[in-house]
Amino acid sequence: MRLWSSPVTVSMRIASNARRIARHARHHSALAQPQPRPAPPTSGKTDPYVLLAPHLEQLRTSLLTLLGSSHPSLNAIAQYYFLHPSKQLRPLLVLLFARATNGLGAEFPQVNWAADNARARQQELDAPLTRKDVLCDWNPSMPDHTASFESAFELRIPPPQPSPYTPPPPLLHQTHSPALTHTMLPTQLRLAQIVEMIHVASLLHDDVLDKSPLRRGAASAPAAFGNKLAVLGGDFLLGRASAALSRLGSNEVVELIASVIANLVEGEILQMKGNGGEAAPSSSSAGNDIDLKCLHSSPLSTPSDKWSIYLKKTYLKTASLMAKGARAAVVLGGCREGEVWKEVAYAYGRNLGIAFQLIDDTLDFSSSTAQLGKPGFADLRLGLATGPALYAAEEFPELEAMIGRRFGGDGDVETALTLISSSRGVERTRELARVHAEKAREVLAFLPRSEARDALEGLTEGVVRRQW
């Protein structure tokens, strides 16, 4: 019996599997299907998806060009989740904040001037900052591959570069009277793509950690390609997102978005440490091959400890990307430190993100696998006590012990489900989500009236009313 396949056979198998899955994905592609989305706003409110439809469509199709590589299997996995319908909530927030604040920031005239003056700016954003033979970017949209390895690399003295353009003096010194414009800057469109790439990278890793068989109504990436390729695909997306980020020309935005990546990992680790419980028995999927003892989780005694860890994890895993993504959009629009606009974006994104995740945690109990496009009751099976379980434990204290052992005892998951569904846990979690959504709505009062502000307001309702 042959134990090993040759590397060539393995890579041919992966490539052919990838092509088959990519064909399947294209067949069921997001481009052909209606997009899932939070509930549309009640009448009279601007529908964010309608307002930004042309941008969202362009964003999705042009994003794929950022992901090309010379490896067909890497292409297939990197593009896989983008070919399935998604809510595109994170890009939507970036674009809505761009529309709701462009023109207000003190440096808007400069950033707008720079955008106008960068000839074919879209190309500028694709252009590497580093010489191509050094950067070695194996992207088909950048045809020059790295220099050959057949001889020693020759030193090349670079020709003098023209100094970067600066706005003309009148623009530098003019006093700016803040007024909304309808301009959307190319850097902001690119930022919307970057946040979606980071989100998808985190999902690729998450589906490995959670051993999830389904995502967006189809086989998850690890189920389709295997764990190793799913992890590598996520890493590849982060690499491409980082290169695109550096080309936006704002260190503040690089700092914000890089900190989101760290937050996502911190949130995931905090979730593994969970509710301060013991390491789950190996029979439970909560163990997930990870030795929880390595994480030095100290038992948390009080319910308020558990709530504070849960909400912190919720911010790190979900709300950070929305809050800092929205703030970064406003920074790119020329908002200076001390101006209120970026504080509004952050406060809105943070509250909306927490509301979104709280609702997600309720849907895990109340929606079917078909509605969710991923398995229901996943959190309990993973040993996680989310809002509904934490509230339910106030009514049924016997849940405390199950939470402590991460639902790892015989029959724990079934008993916990029965107790949670007879409690007010789901309802109270929805109420808490409404409180955060209302806070998000309130901070919008600092912005001038606009269609985009209206749409952001509609989103605070849609996120809470969504059923999947």
Q: Which residues here bind ligand FPP, judged by CB under 6 A?
A: 198, 201-202, 205-206, 209-210, 212, 234, 238, 261, 264-265, 268, 317-318, 374, 378
Q: Is 206 in the site for Mg ion (CB under 5 A)?
A: yes
Cβ–Cβ < 8 Å for 217, 84: yes
Contact partner, 106, from Mg ion, ligand FPP, none, Cβ < 5-8 Å per class:
none
Helix axes 53-63, 89-101, angle to 10 degrees: 130
**Pairwise CA distance, residues 167 & 111, whole Å:** 9
**Pairwise CA distance, residues 253 & 412, whole Å:** 45
* CA distances, 232 to each of 5, 66, 76, 443 (Å): 21, 16, 12, 39
**Contact with Mg ion (CB under 5 A) among 137, 210, 361, 457:** 210
Contact partner, 202, from Mg ion, ligand FPP, none, Cβ < 5-8 Å per class:
ligand FPP
Q: Which residue's CB is nearer to ligand FPP, number 137 or number 210?
A: 210
Q: How far is the CB of 241 from ligand FPP (least distance, A)?
A: 9
Q: How far is the CB of 374 from Mg ion (least distance, A)?
A: 7
Cβ–Cβ < 8 Å for 346, 327: yes
Q: How far is the CB of 433 from Mg ion (least distance, A)?
A: 19
Q: Which residue's CB is nearer to Mg ion, number 206 or number 461?
A: 206
* HEC assignment per residue over 332-345: HCCCCCCCHHHHHH
Contact partner, 209, from ligand FPP, Mg ion, none, Cβ < 5-8 Å per class:
ligand FPP
**Pairwise CA distance, residues 251 & 23, whole Å:** 39
Q: Is 361 in the site for Mg ion (CB under 5 A)?
A: no
Largest CA distance in the chain: 79
**Pairwise CA distance, residues 348 & 343, whole Å:** 8
Contact partner, 89, from ligand FPP, Mg ion, none, Cβ < 5-8 Å per class:
none
The residue range among 33-41, 148-156, 185-193, 209-217 that interacts with Mg ion, by the rule CB under 5 A, is 209-217
Q: Is 454 in the site for Mg ion (CB under 5 A)?
A: no
Contact partner, 408, from Mg ion, ligand FPP, none, Cβ < 5-8 Å per class:
none
Cβ–Cβ < 8 Å for 438, 444: no
Residues that bind Mg ion (CB under 5 A): 206, 210
